[in-house]
Structure 1
Amino acid sequence: MARVTVEDCLEHVENRFELVMLSTKRARQLATGGKEPLVQWENDKPTVVALREIAEGLMSYEFIAEQEIVQDEPLFAAFEDESNEAV
């Protein structure tokens, strides 16, 4: 597949900083989260696949947010409750 360029990606995100944040988060999902790529994976690294998805307009913050599990409670809420009871 042809090389992906920053200019191709910037057609779908507002600026380079947003591009870095979005591609980093998506590459982590692909590498560690077991998420399926939306483009063909041709022996590329997860960062390249993430940039291809962005360049083709397949990836956005909304898409990533839908895939993440968001908990309503903080992670240590149960421990905080226990420590307050002991005082």
Structure 2
Amino acid sequence: MARITVEDCLAKVSNRFLITQMAIKRVKQYREGYEPLIDSKNKEVVNALREIAAGKVIPDTTSDLHLHSSETEEA
């Protein structure tokens, strides 16, 4: 089976830091009981990276937008 690399994920998400954050969040979801979105018998972090590279997991921008709107309300 082919190796998964950060470069594979960069085709879908252009920020390495964001890829790392997405993978961490996905691993936490696995540990809470969420099912993997792809069929794989790899470790959790490899599954998370495979899901990102496959486009099954996308960045969550709603929290950023919510944070931005609350900052403007305080001003």
The bucket for the TM-score relative to the shorter chain is 0.7 to 0.9
The letter of the residue matching 1:23 is: A
Correspondences of 1:29-68 after superposition (within 5 Å): 29-30=29-30, 32-42=31-41, 44-62=42-60
- The answer for unaligned runs of 5 or more in structure 2 is 64-75
For residue 41 of structure 1, give the secondary structure of its aligned residue in structure 2.
coil
Distance in 1, matches of 2:46 and 2:38, equals: 11
- Scaled by the length of structure 1, what TM-score is found? 0.64
Q: Deviations over 1:51-79 (max 9, x none)?
A: 000011110134xx8xxxxxxxxxxxxxx
Say which one has the larger Rg.
1
Instruction: Say how many residue pairs are matched.
Output: 61
TM-score of the pair, normalised by structure 2:
0.73
Q: Which amino acid aligns with 1:5?
A: T
Aligned alpha-carbon RMSD (Å): 1.5
Give the gaps of 5 or more residues in structure 1.
66-87
**Which consecutive segments of 4 or more residues in structure 1 shift more than 2 A?**
none
2:26 maps to a residue whose letter is R
C-alpha distance in structure 2 between counterparts of 1:4 and 1:21, whole Å: 17
For 1:22, the equivalent position in structure 2 comes to: 22
Percentage of pairs with the same residue: 48
After TM superposition, give the deviation of residue 41 of structure 1 in Å.
2.4
Q: Determine the C-alpha separation between the residues in 1 that align with 2:12 and 2:23.
A: 12
Higher relative contact order (CA 8 A, sep 6+): 2
